[in-house]
Amino acid sequence: MDLTTAINTTIKNRRAVFPPMYNGEVIAYDVIEQILENALWAPSHKQTEPWSFKVYSGESLKDLSQYSSNWYKANTPIEKFSEKKYEKTKKKALQSSHVIAIIMNRHAALVPEWEEVAAVACAVQNMWLTATAYGVGAYWSSPKYAIHGDDFFNLEPHQKCLGLMYLGIPVDGLEFKAERAPLEEKVTWI
């Protein structure tokens, strides 16, 4: 496959693949490292490179599972609490091979926050596309337990968690329905 076909195919085939769709296999270390390496090549204004990552795998997935389900229980009013959602939250990390916490490191004196959020999002897209190319299922999750997880993730005052990337090898035979609005709706040629 030539480079243009490879990039077009990878971009179009990238899907949000959720933990219940993972088969329990552990992703090879080299693949995770390449996913992280490709994140580093995202653009950033004034080269602030505002991304950093905390990788959960093996035993530490149990800590994340405990933390996320406890957070949900502690922060959900009793009348809104759902046992099903609690169990689903608890299982997510355990169904995953790796979970990567996506951290933004602010450079408030240099650039506005939106530019650093955008740069981190570019890094996440690099990771997501790399995962797709390697046959790894992934999705960017932005639950409150992650966004408010400063203590759990041991963040410094200039850092913010922008969510979690859950990763695993997809079970065989998954089929995805994906649609996008057509180009004519999104583009005005001047």
Residues in contact with ligand FMN by the rule CB under 6 A = 15-16, 139-143, 163, 178
Judge contact between 167 and 98, C-beta under 8 A: yes
Could you please report the per-residue DSSP string of 6-72?
A: HHHHHHHH--B--GGGB-SPPPPHHHHHHHHHHHTTS--GGG---EEEEEEETTHHHHHHHHHHHHH
**44 versus 89: smaller Cβ distance to ligand FMN:** 89
**61 versus 120: smaller Cβ distance to ligand FMN:** 120
**26 versus 174: smaller Cβ distance to ligand FMN:** 174
Q: How far is CA 121 from the centre of its chain?
A: 10
* Minimum separation from the CB atom of position 188 to ligand FMN (A): 24
Integer Cα distance of 148 and 130 in angstroms: 27
**82 versus 142: smaller Cβ distance to ligand FMN:** 142
Query: Listing from the earlier edge strand, what are the strands of the sheet with 159-168?
Result: 51-57, 98-105, 159-168, 137-141
* Minimum separation from the CB atom of position 14 to ligand FMN (A): 6
* Minimum separation from the CB atom of position 163 to ligand FMN (A): 6
Q: What is the number of other CB atoms lying within 10 angstroms of the CB of residue 154?
A: 9
* Minimum separation from the CB atom of position 86 to ligand FMN (A): 16
* Minimum separation from the CB atom of position 108 to ligand FMN (A): 21
**140 versus 159: smaller Cβ distance to ligand FMN:** 140
